[in-house]
Amino acid sequence: MKEILTNLKMKVEGDEILKIEVPTFRQDIKIKEDVAEEIARIYGYNNLPSVKIQGTAVEAAWTEEQKLNKLVKNLMVSQGLYEAMTYSFVSPKVFDRILVPSEDSKRNTVVISNPLGEDFSIMRTTAIPNMMECLGRNYSRDNKEAALFEIARTYIPSDNLLPDEVDKLVIGIYGKVDFYTLKGIVENLLSALGIDKAEFVRESENPTFHPGKTAKLLVRKKDAGVFGEIHPDVAENYGIEDRVYVAEIDLKTLYAAAKMERKYKPLPKFPAVTRDIAMLIKDEVLVGEIENVIKRAGKELIESVNLFDVYKGKQIPEGMKSVAYSIVYRGENRTLKDEEVNKVHENIVKQLSEKLGAQLR
**Residue 17 burial (C-beta neighbours within 10 Å; 0-12, 13-18, 19+):** exposed
Across the strands, what pairs with 173?
A: 147, 245
Q: Band of the pLDDT at 20, cuts 50, 70, 90?
A: very high
Phi then psi dihedrals of residue 319, to 5 deg: 85, 5
pLDDT value for 262: 84
Phi then psi dihedrals of residue 237, to 5 deg: -65, -25
Task: Please state the length of the chain.
Answer: 361
Q: What is the mean pLDDT of residues 114-131?
A: 93
For residue 24, give its domain range.
2-47
Asked whether residue 228 falls in the same domain as residue 291, the answer is no
Better-predicted residue by pLDDT, 78 or 51 = 78
Are 215 and 226 in contact by the 8 Å Cβ rule? The answer is yes
State the Rg of the chain over Cα: 30
Asked whether residue 99 falls in the same domain as residue 232, the answer is yes
Q: Band of the pLDDT at 58, cuts 50, 70, 90?
A: low
pLDDT value for 105: 93
Strands 273-282 and 320-329: antiparallel
For residue 179, being part of any structural domain is answered with: yes
Better-predicted residue by pLDDT, 46 or 361 = 46
Tens-place pLDDT, residues 123-143? 999 999 999 999 999 999 999
Q: What's the whole-model pTM score? A: 0.75
Instruction: CATH number of the domain at 180, please.
Output: 3.30.930.10
Q: How many CA atoms lie within 13 A of 348 on its CB side?
A: 30
- Does the pLDDT at position 55 exceed 80? no
Mean model confidence pLDDT for the chain: 92
Q: How far is CA 235 from CA 46, 174, 246, 315, in A?
A: 55, 11, 11, 38
Tens-place pLDDT, residues 196-252? 888 898 998 999 999 989 999 999 989 999 999 999 999 999 999 999 999 999 999
Instruction: CATH number of the domain at 315, please.
Output: 3.30.70.380
Asked whether residue 39 falls in the same domain as residue 68, the answer is no
Asked whether residue 242 falls in the same domain as residue 159, the answer is yes
Give pairs for 145-148: CB < 8 Å, separation 24+.
Answer: 145/174, 145/175, 145/176, 145/177, 146/172, 146/173, 146/174, 146/175, 147/79, 147/80, 147/81, 147/82, 147/172, 147/173, 147/175, 147/177, 148/81, 148/82, 148/83, 148/84, 148/172, 148/173
For residue 55, being part of any structural domain is answered with: no
Asked whether residue 315 falls in the same domain as residue 349, the answer is yes
Tens-place pLDDT, residues 163-197? 999 999 999 999 999 999 999 999 999 999 999 88
Q: Band of the pLDDT at 3, cuts 50, 70, 90?
A: very high
For residue 264, being part of any structural domain is answered with: no
For residue 267, being part of any structural domain is answered with: no
Instruction: CATH number of the domain at 32, please.
Output: 3.30.56.10
Asked whether residue 72 falls in the same domain as residue 218, the answer is yes
How far apart, in whole angstroms, are the C-alpha atoms of residue 168 and residue 243? 22
Asked whether residue 36 falls in the same domain as residue 73, the answer is no
Domain boundary among 257, 288, 310: 257
Asked whether residue 224 falls in the same domain as residue 148, the answer is yes
Are 226 and 128 in contact by the 8 Å Cβ rule? The answer is no
Please state the domain count of the chain. Answer: 3
- Cβ neighbours for 120, distance < 8 A, ≥ 6 positions apart: 87, 89, 90, 91, 112
For residue 59, being part of any structural domain is answered with: no
**% of residues, the chain, pLDDT over 70:** 99
- Does the pLDDT at position 53 exceed 80? no
For residue 265, being part of any structural domain is answered with: no
How far apart, in whole angstroms, are the C-alpha atoms of residue 207 and residue 99? 6
pLDDT value for 57: 60
Asked whether residue 77 falls in the same domain as residue 130, the answer is yes
Asked whether residue 7 falls in the same domain as residue 126, the answer is no
**Which uninterrupted H or E stretch holds 287?**
helix 287-298
Domain boundary among 225, 257, 289: 257
Q: What is the mean pLDDT of residues 272-278?
A: 93
Across the strands, what pairs with 170?
A: 150, 248
pLDDT value for 51: 83
Asked whether residue 23 falls in the same domain as residue 166, the answer is no
pLDDT value for 345: 93
